[in-house]
């Protein structure tokens, strides 16, 4: 077993080189490199955590904006509906007013026309009486040779006409 048979000859060399080389490993790899690797891993973990937090924040922000937008939209829709209702009411009122004005106008026109018709009829009736009286006087002169005064003829015609 060389571990024991060579012990006296090699122990100092083994211990010396072990200390030298393991010491180098400890300082170069253990103290130099391993903490940097751990640092890299922690940096990555932190970055991932920060990114997740940022994403969560952005999501919450978007949610809040969406909520605000929805509320604003609802409010605006309500306002629009109110405006439409007011406009409708206004329009209805205006239509009513114009309709009644037009109705009154038409009524006035109808009344005026009726009055004119009545006057025309009156005039026509008077005309007829005159024509009839003249015609009666003329007929009397031609048939009986009588000269009838215009007033008398008109009175007679009026009598006949108004019975």
Partner 1 sequence: MATEAKVDPMHQFTIEPLFGTDHWSLAGFNVAFTNSALWMLISAVVLYAFMLGGMKRELVPGRWQMMVESMTGFIENMLSANVGKEGRKYLPYVFSLFMFILFANLLGLLPLGLIGLHPFTFTSHFTATGVLAILSFAIVLVVGFWKHGFHFFSLFVPHGTPLPMIPLIFVIELVSFLVRPFSLGLRLFVAMMAGHVLLEVLSSFVIGGANAGVFFMGLVSIPSFILMVAICALEILVAGIQAYVFALLTSLYINDAEHLH
Taking CB under 8 A as the rule, does residue 51 contact partner 1? no
| Cβ closest to partner 1, residue 11 vs residue 69 | 11
| Dihedrals phi, psi of 162, to nearest 5 degrees | -95, 5
How many whole angstroms from its chain centre is CA 103? 34
Taking CB under 8 A as the rule, does residue 6 contact partner 1? yes
Taking CB under 8 A as the rule, does residue 2 contact partner 1? yes
Q: What is the DSSP string of 71-128?
A: HHHHHHHHHHHHHHHHHHHHHHHHHHHHHHHHHHHHHHHHHHHHHHHHHHHHHHHHHH
Side-chain half-sphere exposure of 86, counting CA atoms within 13 A: 6
149 closest CA partner among 162, 131, 158, 136: 136
Inter-axis angle of helices 34-143 and 150-162, nearest 10 = 120
Give min distance, CB of 49 to partner 1, in A: 13
Give min distance, CB of 57 to partner 1, in A: 21
Taking CB under 8 A as the rule, does residue 16 contact partner 1? yes
- Binding span for partner 1 by CB under 8 A among 23-31, 95-103, 122-130, 151-159: 23-31
| Cβ closest to partner 1, residue 12 vs residue 147 | 12
- Binding span for partner 1 by CB under 8 A among 9-17, 58-66, 76-84, 147-155: 9-17
Q: Which residues bind partner 1 (CB under 8 A)?
A: 1-3, 6-7, 9-19, 21-22, 24-26, 28-31, 33-38, 40-41, 43-44, 47
């Amino acid at each position: 077993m060389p571990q024991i048979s060579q012990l006296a000859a090699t122990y100092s060399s083994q211990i010396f080189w072990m200390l030298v080389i393991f010491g180098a490993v400890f300082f170069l790899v253990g103290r130099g490199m391993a903490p940097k690797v751990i640092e890299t891993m922690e940096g990555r973990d932190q970055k991932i955590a920060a990114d997740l937090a940022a994403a969560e924040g952005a999501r919450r922000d978007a949610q809040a904006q969406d909520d605000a937008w929805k509320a604003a939209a609802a409010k605006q829709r309500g306002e629009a509906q109110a405006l439409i209702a007011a406009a409708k009411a206004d329009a209805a009122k205006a239509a009513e007013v114009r309709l009644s004005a037009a109705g009154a106008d038409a009524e006035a026109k109808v009344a005026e026309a009726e009055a004119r018709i009545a006057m025309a009829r009156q005039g026509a009736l008077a005309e007829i009486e005159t024509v009839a009286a003249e015609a009666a006087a003329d007929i009397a002169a031609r048939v009986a040779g009588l000269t009838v005064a215009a007033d008398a003829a008109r009175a007679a015609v009026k009598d006949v006409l108004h019975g």
